[in-house]
Structure 1
Amino acid sequence: MASNNIRSNLLLFGLSLSVAMVSLSDRMVSVETPFLGEALYIDAALLGWINISALLVMTCSIMIFGRLGDLKGRKKLSYIGIITFLIGSILCAISPNGLVLIIFRCVQGLGSSILISNLYAIPKDIFPPEKHGRAIGFITFAVYLGLASAPFLGGFIVDFLNWRWIFLVVLPLGIVALFIIHKTYKLEPVKQPKEKFDLLGAGTFAITLFSLYLSLTLGNKVGWNNILVISLIFIFIISFIIFIMIEKKSDSPMIKLSIFKNANFSTSNFAALLFYITTMSITFLIPIYLKAGFGYTGLEIAMVIFLMPLFMSIFSPISGYLSDKFDNKKICIIGLVILAISFLFLGTMQFQPPISYIILIFAGIGQGIFTSPNVALVIDSVDQTDRGIASSMTTMMRTIGQSSSFAISTALLGLIMPFTLLNSFLSNTITPTPDQLQLFVSSMQFVFYIMFFICIASLILVSIKFFIKKSNK
């Protein structure tokens, strides 16, 4: 029994190392994208695709690999995901130019998708029910620790080492994680007999997510009246309808539509979607304000934004542990209340140090408290045969929520600010006058007000499911 506990804990550590590798790498690339563009002479039109390419591949494929994990087992997918990500990292490091780097970032995105798709389902397979929450909390801690460390490690690399080390520095984490997982991952969940993989449904769903993610990304950059963006939205609607029709007729659907009749599953996922729409607005807007209003350097901005993932990483394992002792829904409510109060302060106060830093800390605490029990609610709400889909759904909601946040925040800013002035702030090409800065502050506060109400909507969803019996399947 003791040896099984040690093996399970080591496996959890290995899985956490692997996801820390992914979050650390992705955030470093995101933060240091301008430096990569300068080093490789990447055109401004292509620069954003260093990040978009990886996220696009992950968004389109993660549900597919979640389903494959349910059908074929999660162990092999863990191996393949880590190895693919490591290969992608090496290829990125030896890229001769920007276009090749973007292509190899797709390989990294594929590895991330394969690895993360079943990540939150594995603790349910290997730990007893009374330890599920703390296991999920530890994995979430690793994610946020990677996010918190990335700006500093990335800044050190670009200042003192070659840019290629941004991709190479994570290799030891992946190699150690692969070794630990290989030695400790012995138990596999029971596979579903005689079920075939829904290839047609998977392809249609990939097109649906591809068009959705790309329309959200491009709409924020080139405008929502752009013909390409309009076409992508049209493709999204049509492909989504076709996907639903395919799944209804399929004997072995990729996503069992009946799963959405499960109130705990649906409300938990939609609450998470709204949650990620709100939280990403802080990461998006505060750096713009600090640079334009106070002349903060990149490192100084990183130190301010660092406060949120730091406290998210601290409180994620705590909330995971508490979710094993108390009702997950109550803990989610506490996290959302703290986050909502943070948005209320951000919407009413001038963002001035040091009081503003305290608000960011509270926002980080709220996020850390909410995430782990929310994921546990999603995973707990389904049968063992659907855990991969549930796990990948939580990640997809995060990706879509964060992508939507940029589009929603920009659109809300545009309701108050002239487009040319807004574009100057977003592109960091302005030294604003006091009146211009005040207009941006007023617009930013308006965005945070709206995010407060979106957070309240998420809170209502969680409160609704508070009255839903946990046994509702």
Structure 2
Amino acid sequence: MSESRAESFSGEWQGPGLTPRQVRVTLIGIAFALFLASLDQTIVATAIPRIVADLDGFDRFTWISTSYIVASTSVVLITGAVSDVYGRKWLFVGGIAIFLVGSALAAISPTMNALIAFRAVQGLGGGMIMALTFVTIADLYSPAERGKYMGLIAAIFGVSSVLGPTLGGFITDQLSWQWIFIVNIPLGIPIIVLFVRMFPDAKRTGPARKIDWVGAALIVLAIVPVLLGLSWGGNQFEWSSPQVISALVIGGVMAIVFVLYESRIPNPILPLAVFRNRIVGIGLLVSFLTGLAMFGAIFFVPLFFQGVLGASPTASGSFLTPMMLGIVFGAASSGQILSRTGGHYRIQGVLGLSVMTVRLFGLSRVSGDTTHGYALTSAVIMGFGLGTSFPIYTTAIQNSVPQQFLGVATSASQFFRSVGGSIGLALFGSYLVRQFKSEMQANLPDEAFDAVPPLLLERITENPNALLRPEASESLMSAFAASGESGTELGLKVLDSIRDSLANAIGDIFFLAFIFVLISVVAAAFIREIPLKGRSGVPGKPAPEPGPASTPADD
């Protein structure tokens, strides 16, 4: 079907079948549920030292976050697809309940392995919450209103990212690390009660549609190995290790099997025809590329402030707050503009992404002489440009598919952004290690090779710890001071070399992110605008089975 037939989905939006008060209360419940789920992605960071001290397992502590991310990402697509068949309400309630059970179990974890497993349970619930949040917003509000609420939800996600580390540190210091999980329970139970009482429980009309459980299993078997491989690469294992290669190969093979299987059954869990819609395809590409750049930028901005500009760990983390507030303001204002202008999302998206592109290019020019003000201003403006994209492409994707595919199309947008982020972290992290070592070998003063033992020199060229840990810096200076009369001066030169090498490597990462976002700008320029339209339905109730016109628009 041609893309122009997407406009055949337009119609008078009948509303969610709720009173204005019920809609507002439901929105509040959704917002609080999302806040809890997204907060748990970052609140653990500042508690990790205490957790490691209590449970040991230093070699596995990164899995406290990785298990949550892998579990939540793997369930997003399945949740969206299942909600299109069975509705949103009880999946939403179930997601919150699973999240709370995981929180309770995590709080009483006796070992590091148990905590990692229970964080995965939390991730399953959190992924369901996130998948259903954006879909339910589409159920509650007409497309003409939806942009501002999508922006609001994206802003909540940004606020939780800002508050997470600070709140986690406060709770850990005042109570214990267990309370960062316990606190979810008294906050989450009222949300479940609210959903049970207020969220509509409409039953599906029309012929029953079976769930493609084989397809659901194949999705998991494709996603999990890929995410594990990306998490392992450059961290637990070398990229060329059998573990990483086999995980990526298994994931790739299962993805091919999934596509072949889905293309041959009548009711696939992920209708591949949806992705032939050019608006959906471009929207998912932009989501993937901005997710890739976003996670890379957020991860390396504090490293630049701490390692290159000499900020303390606390201060370097606080410099991230203005950037996140830029994301929040960009998302909220972009959603408002989208709703008020009637959906000119092509030009709005191009402008927002262009702002991000320009500032990423500016950050790619950073050096050891860059000022705090320049770096901070660039990060804030970059965050604003990034934030503008959040409501735009989710709304555009939702507006281009019929109601019965709303859940899977919306969750696909979140999924592609998350996978982009995982790939971005793996790609940029691996590049940083290699490029820093290369820069150090080029910048290290020649006399340093004769001043200190080769083993110390090897450590210096492989990581920038001397800039990040005071004791490492003192050890380096002591070693060079002991080498002779000019040893102290030589040690300072080596520190400058480390600083310049780290700045150059991080600048290269920002340049790579600039390239990826520039590609997204070009792609966004070709997205087709169709008027923001309405569709019938209530939250929790998929639309009736479509007639011939109600299939995903293709190109």
Moved more, 188-197 or 16-25: 188-197
Structure 1 gaps of 5+ residues are none
**Percent identical residues:** 23
The match for 1:424 is 463
* Contact 2:74 2:224 survives alignment (8 Å): yes
Does 1:447 find its partner at 2:509? yes
Counterpart residue type for residue 65 of structure 2: N
Deviation digits for residues 33-77 of structure 1 (CA, Å, limit 9, x no counterpart): 333222322x23211111111111112222111111011000111
CA gap of 1:8–1:404, structure 2 versus 1, over 3 A, is same
Distance 1:228 1:245, change over 3 A: same
Q: 1:422-468: CA deviations, max 9, x gaps?
A: 75238956547110110111111111112111111011111111468
What displacement does 1:98 show? 1.1
- Say whether the 8 Å CA contact 1:417–1:439 is kept in structure 2: yes
Structure 1 range deviating more: 86-95 or 292-301: 292-301
Return the offset for 1:379: 1.6
Matched, 1:437 2:456: no
Correspondent of 1:334 among 346, 351, 374: 351
Asked if residue 282 in structure 1 is aligned to residue 317 in structure 2, the reply is no
Q: Name the SS for the 1:32 alignment partner.
A: helix
Q: State the secondary structure of the residue aligned to 1:121.
A: helix
Question: For the Cα contact (< 8 Å) 1:342–1:362, is it kept in 2?
Answer: yes
Which position in structure 2 is the counterpart of 1:392? 411
- Which letter maps to 1:408? L
Matches within 5 A, 1:44-443: 44-186=58-200, 188=202, 190=204, 193-221=207-235, 222-326=237-341, 327-350=344-367, 351-418=370-437, 424-425=463-464, 431=473, 433-443=495-505
Return closer, same or farther for 1:355/1:182 CA change in 2, 3 Å cut-off: same
Structure with greater Cα Rg: 2
Aligned residues: 472
Relative to structure 1, the CA distance from residue 3 to residue 403 in structure 2 (aligned partners, 3 Å threshold; closer, same or farther) is closer
- Map of 1:17 onto structure 2: 32
Q: Does 1:457 align with 2:457?
A: no
The 2-side partners of 1:251 and 1:257 are apart by 11
The amino acid that maps onto 1:459 is V
The range that moved more, 277-286 or 451-460, is 277-286
Q: Which has the higher helix share?
A: 1
Name the aligned partner's letter for residue 113 of structure 1: G
CA contact (8 A) 1:94 1:164 kept: yes
Q: Are 1:137 and 1:319, in contact at CA under 8 Å, matched by a contact in 2? A: yes
Q: Distance in 1 between matches of 2:84 and 2:355?
A: 36
Assess if the C-alpha contact under 8 Å between 1:335 and 1:366 holds in 2. yes
Partner Cα distance (2:461, 2:282) in 1: 35
- Does 200-209 or 127-136 show the bigger shift? 127-136
Aligned partners of 2:37, 2:260: CA distance in 1, in Å?
35
SS of the equivalent of 2:270 reads coil
**What is the aligned-residue RMSD (CA, Å)?**
2.3
Equivalent residue of 1:464, what SS?
Answer: coil
Say whether the 8 Å CA contact 1:12–1:139 is kept in structure 2: no
Do the aligned partners of residues 342 and 99 (structure 1) sit closer, same or farther apart at CA in structure 2, a change above 3 Å counting? same
Kindly state the Cα deviation for residue 137 of structure 1 after the two structures are TM-superposed.
1.5
1:206-260 per-residue CA deviation (whole Å, 9 max, x = no partner) reads 1100111111111131221000111112112211111111101111101111111
Instruction: State the distance in 2 between where 1:95 and 1:195 align.
Output: 40
Whether the aligned pair in 2 keeps the contact of 1:73 and 1:191 (CA below 8 Å) is no
| Contact map agreement 1:53 1:106 (CA 8 A) in 2 | yes
Amino acid at match of 2:257: I
Is the Cα–Cα contact under 8 Å of residues 37 and 129 in structure 2 kept in the other structure?
A: no
Q: Distance in 2 between matches of 1:421 and 1:308?
A: 31
TM-score normalised according to structure 2 size: 0.80
Q: State the shift of 1:415 in Å.
A: 4.8
The amino acid that maps onto 1:244 is: V
Q: 1:84 to 1:220 in 2, by over 3 A?
A: same
Tell me how far apart the structure 1 counterparts of residues 59 and 131 of structure 2 sit (CA, whole Å). 30
Judged with a 3 Å threshold, the aligned counterparts in structure 2 of structure 1 residues 25 and 379 are, in CA distance, closer, same or farther, namely: same
Distance 1:297 1:160, change over 3 A: farther
